[in-house]
Structure 1
Amino acid sequence: MTSAQAVRIEAPGDAGQMKLVELELGEPGPGEIRIRHVACGLNYIDIYHRSGVYPLPMPSGLGMEAAGVIEAVGEGVEHLRVGDRAAYASQPVGAYCTARVMPARCVVRLPDAISFETGAAMMLKGLTAQYLLKKTLPQGGLQHGDHVLFHAAAGGVGLIACNWARALGLQLIGTAGSDEKCALALAAGASHVINYRREDVAARVREITGGRGVKVVYDSVGADTWNASLDSLAPFGLLASFGNASGVVPPVALGTLSAKGSLYVTRPTLFTHLATRESTQAMADELFAVVLGGQVQIRVEQRYPLAEVAQAHRDLEARTTVGSGVLLV
């Protein structure tokens, strides 16, 4: 048997609920691999899982992405071999560990030119930016020069989106909670920034766009930004709500959407897009291409030992972090 250390929770709760335990791992079954991690990604969805916003069967592991080396391959797995460098953003949860047995479907080879830290930090956030900017689109799609609004533009997903939007020729309007974070978003490729603590977001969006509003808003903040997001949209615009960092969005009166200009609302998830190995590989290939080509930079700004996972979560919840963070194993 192979041993591993893993973070576990017995019930939903605060950061102190997480405990590091020793586990025994068996051999991978059909369609599975065993991977030895070098780094594990930190994401806000991990807090939703830990706190119970997104309920999990208990007891449970935590974490959705990591990078490392394939140790064993189960029957029927043809795209990975023992010794391959690999990375993933995948269900089931449980990436906060030194090693694990898991489905191979969403695990992909990591290019040699991309480090394990970068690989662990880029998969969930980078693939999220990919499906938002390339697949979650308003009527008629997005054309060169179009304005989009992206909340939390200095976060891990946001900075990648700023890079990618610039590469696509889009004018991204980013929001952030400090002048320092606004400057980071500008440096990453945002065309305009709004400090939401000092400025009226919807009013500034109208000013920037000559009164028209944006075709699409990408909103991971949730309750605090919901009304401003709707008020920033042009007629027939799309609000893509993909997170709840400030709390769950309350029920929506459909009449509000008609009154504000026949608006569209969607609540997409990454894992719907990663449902098959083929779609996962295609999305990862596109992400790797823009990272290797230099259009997208992955900023790993926070590093914690696996044993300090509670502090990592506290920092995420306090919104004091920028870019991406990883747990090192």
Structure 2
Amino acid sequence: MSHSIRIHETGSPAVMKLVNTNPATPGPGQLLIRHAAIGVNYIDTYHRSGLYPVPLPSGIGLEAAGIVEAVGADTDGFAPGDRVAYGNGPIGAYATLNLVAANRVAKLPPGVDFESAAAIMLKGMTARYLLKETYPVQPGDTILYHAAAGGVGLLMCQWARDLDVTLIGTASTDEKCALALSMGATHMINSTREDIVARVREITGGKGVPVVYDGVGKATFEISLDCLQPRGLLATFGNASGPVTGVDLGILTQKGSLYVTRPSLGHYVASDDALAANTADVFDAVARGALNITINQRYGLDEAVRAHEDLESRRTTGASILIP
């Protein structure tokens, strides 16, 4: 018998229920993975709330690490007992066991434990595609990142420092600002009592930044645009405050012929080669000590409701994981 979190309707965290399930048998190209640690990410709340619709009933969660329990046919390179992780689905990671396509799984290198892997796969791959593909930063660049004390944010702070990039971050408390600074942010702005646009202009000598990475969404959209230099890029990759809607594209001309993109990790790791390159880069950064995983919240699988409540109420910093 195994256990998993399931939803039969969308809504508040309370719609998530822990149920008993029967272990599945892996088919061709599949691995059955017994989870040791499970990542909790903001996208999970979008699936649960219905912002990103999924067929119901459904599992929840896209990221986990553990041990291969069984292998299906055509899974060369994997064997029971292998230490592995995945960070781009399939949905259903909030469970003791999950069936995953072998070509979506990465073997864990020595020195990367299960908890670290579960906390860094999705977040690390996100930081990597944002910094190296959505807007490929260059040494000496100055960038803006909202919610810099979050799971992806703390990795962005560290990776920006590794790439010799000046990162201006925002956070809602002095404590969160101090945490981000300790992890590599060059400047931090307390968004509850400072004018973000004015501070960015002050830091950049009035020029603005070439790119803003914004996972907050609705509440920061226009602020982000106003922080950009002419022909700058806004990468809005999340909706923590709600989705951006009803945009008049003429505003992009008025504010400096700006660019806006709405990237998603899935499109950046759609091919096996792209996924392998991304995860290899993440693990290399960990091995070099450029990225340190900050896990500040641990919950049991049966505490998934509280994990979502804490995440959505902004009570968390760094990464959160579930322990099955």
Q: Same fold (TM over 0.5)?
A: yes
Give how far 1:173 is off: 0.2
Aligned residue number for residue 202 of structure 1: 197
| 1:9-158 → structure 2 map (5 Å cutoff) | 9-137=7-135, 141-158=136-153
CA distance in 2, matches of 1:108, 1:175: 32
CA distance in 1, matches of 2:290, 2:12: 37
For residues 252-286 of structure 1, give each alpha carbon's deviation from its aligned partner in whole angstroms, at most 9, with x where no partner exists: 21111011111000000001112122211111110
For residues 68-124 of structure 1, give each alpha carbon's deviation from its aligned partner in whole angstroms, at most 9, with x where no partner exists: 001111222223222110000123210000011121221100112011011101001
- On the 8 A contact 1:80/1:108 being kept in 2, the answer is no
Instruction: Report sequence identity in percent.
Output: 54
CA distance in 2, matches of 1:266, 1:108: 28
CA distance in 2, matches of 1:102, 1:292: 25
- On the 8 A contact 1:238/1:264 being kept in 2, the answer is yes
If the length of structure 2 is used for normalisation, what is the TM-score?
0.98
> After TM superposition, what 4+ stretches of structure 1 lie above 4 angstroms from structure 2?
none
| 1:158-177 → structure 2 map (5 Å cutoff) | 158-177=153-172
CA distance in 2, matches of 1:288, 1:23: 33
- On the 8 A contact 1:105/1:276 being kept in 2, the answer is no
CA distance in 2, matches of 1:73, 1:272: 27
Structure 2 portions without partners, runs of 5+ = none
Aligned residue number for residue 269 of structure 1: 264
Give how far 1:26 is off: 2.6
SS of 2:137's partner is coil
Among 240, 254, 258, the alignment partner of 1:259 is 254
Give how far 1:31 is off: 1.3
If the length of structure 1 is used for normalisation, what is the TM-score?
0.97
CA distance in 2, matches of 1:92, 1:23: 17
When the two structures are aligned, how many residues end up with a matched partner? 324
- On the 8 A contact 1:151/1:219 being kept in 2, the answer is yes
- On the 8 A contact 2:61/2:89 being kept in 1, the answer is no
CA distance in 1, matches of 2:14, 2:7: 9
Among 311, 318, 321, the alignment partner of 2:313 is 318
CA distance in 2, matches of 1:279, 1:130: 12
Structure 1 portions without partners, runs of 5+ = none
